[in-house]
Amino acid sequence: MKMYLISDNIDTYTGMRLVGIEGCVVHEKQELKDAMERAIADPSIGVLLLTEKFGRDFPEVVTPLKMATKVPIIIEVPDRHGTGRKPDFITSYVNEAIGLKL
């Protein structure tokens, strides 16, 4: 199984291509929806990477597909501008998941 990137900018796409991850660059809501549906339909793709901007700008497209799709797993990654998450994102996520404060 391979990874595939759907990016909102050419810089992130180029960086991923340098490490061997194929992908595409899209900007509009319908382009994103079409690209995600194509990637989900491809049985060779095991991990679908999306830049975080899509999750913020188009949650009505991303969230339902994330929840309904088992393979490929859909992961949001930071782009060249960094992450929009708070600095202790991982710690708070673990705290929430297991119910203990670390």
| Per-residue three-class SS string for 17-66 | HHCCCEEEECCCHHHHHHHHHHHHHCCCEEEEEEEHHHHHHCHHHHHHHH
Is the confidence at residue 5, as pLDDT, over 70?
yes
Which of the 8 DSSP states describes residue 69?
A: -
Q: What is the pLDDT of residue 48?
A: 94
Q: What is the pLDDT of residue 50?
A: 92
Which pTM was predicted? 0.76
Just give the CATH number of 2-98.
Answer: 3.40.50.10580
Q: What is the pLDDT of residue 24?
A: 95
